[in-house]
Amino acid sequence: MKKDYRNYLSLLLVALLLTGCSQTAKVSEDIPLVRTQTISLGANNQNPGYSGEVRGRYEAALSFQTGGKIIQRQVEAGTHVKAGDVLLTIDPKDIQQTVNLTAAQVASADSQLHLAQSNLARYEKLYEQGAISRAQLDQYQNAYEVAQAAVNQASAQYAQGNNQLNYSQLTADSDGVIAAINVEAGQVVSAGQTVLTLVKDGTREIEINIPENKLEELKNASHIQVTFWALPGITSEGKVREIAPMADKVTRTYKARISLVNPPAGLQLGMTATVNISQTGSQSIFIPLAALYQTGDMPNVWVVTDNQVALRPVKVGAFGDNAVEILDGLHEGDVIVCAGVQKLHEGQKVRL
């Protein structure tokens, strides 16, 4: 009886062990499903877009031609103005006093001129009668000319004072939109200090920043398309208008202006835009940012071969919107994992 009991326990233990092995085998055979991308050169690869901002073709930094305390601000950021509209006003009291002073100087100089003119006329008659010498007449002639010069000088100072009084009001030189205001009422400003930025009506364009290794690609671009985050489904054709001759000292990128061939309706200053550049015969490779797997300082990607993954180092180039350019390490036809790369290990089997 005991022998039968022992046999029963032995069979039960073997059954449990077999069951455990079967479950382990099932777990070990759990092959993950991955999202992949097949590398192809040329048209099937979309170049990364460069984010930019809608700017005006002509932007003027406005400033006063005289200094003083601002007493009134007639505009706000975003205000549309017409040529001649008053934007800011400086306290004109001191300037007005200067104008009054120069006006008095003009009156005084004019009075001296009339006196010199009368004296000259009298002494000319005396000279004709032989009562005075030529030297005495020359003295009065000279006094008249000095008085005339004094009148001209005082008149010029009066005109200058009037100009300064007119400069106490900052006016728009053309139709446009106020893009920025740098001062407030009560603030003292100096002549030439930028107080407003006026974007003139007319052409709108996109300002982007280009890395130095992409300058030639931009210059030789065969087609430029511009999309707008606030205007979904709308695409505009662009053209390179200018590229800055020097890189920014901080970002080491070059500012570029893209003019719009057919600007869409509803386009507003400051809107976010994406500039996509394509080049005839381009053989660049771009992959999703999520496909990169960083090990130390070396970027890598998981390459799938015969349903097994292997880590391959790559050399990256320009970064765009959720995409990165691969300069070296991948070839046409390679299949890479583009999602969940942190969960994989070398030689792991995967399902496509």
Closest listed residue to residue 136, CA positions, set 125, 148, 147, 151: 125
Question: Which pLDDT score is estimated for 257?
Answer: 94
pLDDT in tens, 258-313: 999 888 988 888 899 999 887 655 567 888 888 999 888 889 999 999 999 999 99
Stated as kind and residue range, the H or E segment containing 115 is: helix 93-128
Residue 19 pLDDT grade (very low, low, confident, very high; cuts 50, 70, 90): low
Q: Hey, which residues does 311 pair with through a beta bridge?
A: 302
pLDDT at 64 > cutoff 60: yes
At residue 226, what is the residue type?
Answer: V
- The answer as to whether 335 is a domain residue is no
CA distances from 188 to 15, 160, 192, 321 (A): 94, 22, 12, 44
Both 146 and 129 in a single domain?
A: yes
Check pLDDT > 60 for residue 18. Answer: no
Domain of residue 98: give its range.
Answer: 93-166
Write out pLDDT tens, residues 107-157.
999 999 999 999 999 999 998 988 889 999 899 999 999 999 999 999 999
pLDDT at residue 27 above 60?
no
Mean pLDDT (the chain, rounded): 85
Please check whether residue 20 lies inside any domain of the structure: no
CA distance 271 to 55: 8
Last residue of a domain, one of 278, 306, 339: 278
Q: Residue 219 is which amino acid?
A: K
85/183 same-domain check: yes
**What span, in angstroms and rounded, lies between the C-alpha atoms of 212 and 174?**
36
Q: How confident is residue 219, by pLDDT bands cut at 50, 70 and 90?
A: confident
Which helix (H) or strand (E) element contains residue 23?
Answer: helix 2-28
When comparing pLDDT for 39 and 175, which is higher?
A: 175
* Same domain membership, residue 211 and residue 154: no
| pLDDT confidence of residue 50 | 87
- Percent of the chain at pLDDT exceeding 90: 46
Strand-pairing partners, residue 239, are: 259
Residue-level pLDDT at 24: 44
Q: Do both 80 and 99 map to the same domain? A: no
Amino acid at 303: V
Please give the pLDDT value at position 76. Answer: 92
